[in-house]
Amino acid sequence: MRLTKYFLPVLKEEPKEAEIVSHRLMLRAGMIRQQASGIYSWLPLGYKVLQKVQRIIEEEQNRAGAIELLMPTLQPADLWRESGRYDAYGKEMLRIKDRSDRDLIYGPTNEEMITDIFRSAIKSYKDLPLILYHIQWKFRDEIRPRFGTMRSREFLMKDAYTFDLNQENAVKSYNKMFVSYLRTFYRLGIPAIPMRAETGPIGGDLSHEFIVLAKTGESEVFCHADLLEKNIPSIDLDYDGDLSKIVDDWTSLFAATEDVASEEDLIANVPSDKRISARGIEVGQTFYFADKYSKPMGADVTDSNGKQVSVFCGSYGIGLTRIVPAIIEASHDENGIIWPISVAPFEVILINLRAKDDECSNVCQDIYNKLKKANIDVVYDDRDQGAGAKFATADLIGIPLQLIIGPRGVKSGEAELKIRKSGEKENIPLENAVQKIIDLIVPNRRDKD
């Protein structure tokens, strides 16, 4: 992509409405635009990140055996009357009527609808286990939306639902989602720690929140420091094998949110040099809730004895529109965002310091073509602007690598390569630039390990 042909409305000044750093940076980097309280447009740069996040989540869900579908945003109220949640959910649920005066709701979640889909098609234990998921916009009319897309009213969420014959199998499905979340957050470049959590209005008795430690986190969390150093299950993992060892390993060390634990619990369960008491952002949650919906909604299957039994279920959410600011909260400096390669809107920015100079532009164009050909996600800053403005923009939007080419370098046959994260700069021969970038990017995409 050439910057002269792109839509990147960066802001030089601090937007006054934004309090936390991720919100400020998303506005300044031209990623989002607020349309109403808690409702945002995703501008090209932000949308590109959101799509990369989505792709990683899909890959890891699929790998774990979950099957993607797509349910609508609008749902008939009757489904929610069946589960009893139409009245229970309160004003947070947006209720609307169509032209025939039928009650509809804009889905805040999809347990009812997925249960309806399940019961219409699945009648036998032989079709279990089943894991279905979708990625769709949700609406929760929060009393107070805040922090940009971190707590918005309209938000994009991945929600998966597991269906099993009995509790033992349901726990196996739970473990699949648990492990896939470990891998998902690893690939997204955010160290998320699974913590024991309250089950909330959805109900059930087995639940973890996946928490990113960040100063601006909304809740207080407590955990064992070794959880930050744990190994992530590899891409070769067999999801049909025994996952309980991995889950046990991760859940044996103390980790809990303020809803279910206190500082005293931390002190009682963790040696003093390993205690972490911090703020955290919840980026995902896993719930097991057994037959809470399947029973009232009649989602039964026939078991091997010919008996009708309600299926055992769980639901598993990841807020994609929250992931993006969470990554920024965890990875930025005073100059702007620092994207992990796996979700960066572009992997490298090619900075032409003298767009009006033919010689310089020819060199840039050649390198740009080669990078594209090598499937490197490159953006080419071919704008006719001062060097300072270009550097500032590159830092702000957080592209992991900056390849800087000016007339001076063209004469000496060198380009400057800057690593956004470390600030490290290195002069490299122009003819090695493309290969050097490939070597720095490709092994670090986290899509092969």
Is 426 a binder of RNA (CB under 7 A)?
Answer: no
Cβ at position 335, least distance to RNA in Å? 6
Kindly state the tokens that stand for 81: 């009357």
Is 144 a binder of RNA (CB under 7 A)?
Answer: yes
- Judged by DSSP in three states, 173 sits in helix
Is 213 a binder of RNA (CB under 7 A)?
Answer: no
Kindly state the tokens that stand for 375: 């499937």
Among residues 42, 118, 133, 155, which is the contact residue for RNA, using CB under 7 A?
155
Residue tagged 């939007």 (tokens)? 397
Among residues 292, 395, 434, 446, which is the contact residue for RNA, using CB under 7 A?
395
- Ramachandran category for residue 306: left, alpha or beta (phi over 0 → left; psi -120 to 50 → alpha): left
User: CA-CA distances (angstroms) from residue 443 to 429, 437, 440?
Assistant: 22, 11, 7
Is 354 a binder of RNA (CB under 7 A)?
Answer: yes
Is 42 a binder of RNA (CB under 7 A)?
Answer: no
From 297, 278, 180, select the one nearest 228 (Cα to Cα).
278
- DSSP string spanning 332-372? EETTEE---TTT-S-SEEEEES-TT-HHHHHHHHHHHHHHH
Cβ at position 176, least distance to RNA in Å? 19
Distance CA 124, CA 116 (A): 15
Is 205 a binder of RNA (CB under 7 A)?
Answer: no
Cβ at position 274, least distance to RNA in Å? 26
Cβ at position 352, least distance to RNA in Å? 10
Please list every residue from 222 through 281 that binds RNA, using CB under 7 A.
none
3-state helix, strand, coil in the chain (%, to 5): 40, 30, 35
Is 389 a binder of RNA (CB under 7 A)?
Answer: yes
Is 143 a binder of RNA (CB under 7 A)?
Answer: yes
Cβ at position 318, least distance to RNA in Å? 7
Is 314 a binder of RNA (CB under 7 A)?
Answer: no
How big is the site for RNA, counted in residues (CB under 7 A)? 68
Is 152 a binder of RNA (CB under 7 A)?
Answer: yes
Distance CA 280, CA 209 (A): 10
Kindly state the tokens that stand for 392: 């500032």
Contact positions vs RNA (CB under 7 A): 10-19, 28, 34, 36-38, 92, 140, 142-147, 149, 151-153, 155, 157, 200-202, 209, 218-219, 282-285, 317-319, 321-322, 335, 353-354, 356, 384-389, 391-393, 395-396, 404-409, 416, 418, 425
